[in-house]
Structure 1
Amino acid sequence: MPIVTVNMMEGRSDEQKERMIAEVSDALVRSLGAPIESVRVLINEMPKQHFGIAGQSAKKMGK
C-alpha cells in the first residue's frame, strides 16, 4: 500500500487539493503498478507562520 504525505502551506482550495490527490494517485499507479484502491495520500497543511523561508516565516514574507 503506497502512502504519500504532502506537506504544504494552507491556502489552497478544496478543488486544488482534490486535483492533487488524483494526480499523485495516478502517478503512483503508473510508476509502481499499484492498484488505485491501495493508494493513500495524506495532506498536512500548516499555517504560513509555521513555514520558514530564508530565515523568515512565509506569513511575514507575504507568501
Structure 2
Amino acid sequence: MPYIRVEMLEGRSDEQKAKLAQAITNAMVEHAGAKPDSIFVVIEDVKKSNWATGGTLMSQRK
C-alpha cells in the first residue's frame, strides 16, 4: 500500500493535480510493481506564507 505525499505551493488547478496524481501512480506501477488501486497520493497545498527557503518566506520573495 504505497502512500505518496506531495507538498507544494498552492496555485495549481484541480486538473493539474489530477494529472500529477496519475503520473505518480503510473510511475509506481511501472517502476515499483505496485497495483494502482493500492496507491494513495496525497497532495497538500501550502500557502506561500507557510513555506520558507533560505530563511525567507516565499510570500516575501520577489
Q: TM-score range by the shorter chain?
A: over 0.9
- TM-score of the superposed pair, with normalisation by structure 2: 0.93
- TM-score of the superposed pair, with normalisation by structure 1: 0.91
TM-fit CA distance, 1:5: 0.3
Over the matched positions of the two proteins, sequence identity in percent amounts to 34
Q: Which runs of 4+ in 1 moved over 2 A?
A: none
**Structure 1 unaligned spans of 5+:** none
Q: Which residue of 1 is the match for residue 31 of structure 2?
A: 31
Over aligned residue pairs, what C-alpha RMSD do you find? 0.8
- Would you say 1:3 and 2:13 are equivalent positions? no
Q: Kindly provide the CA deviation profile for residues 15-58 of structure 1, in whole angstroms up to 9, marking residues without a partner as x.
A: 11001000000000011111111111001111100010111111
For 1:1-63, what aligned pairs fall within 5 Å after superposition? 1-62=1-62
Q: Which amino acid in structure 1 is aligned with residue 3 of structure 2? A: I
In 1, Cα distance between the equivalents of 2:11 and 2:25?
21
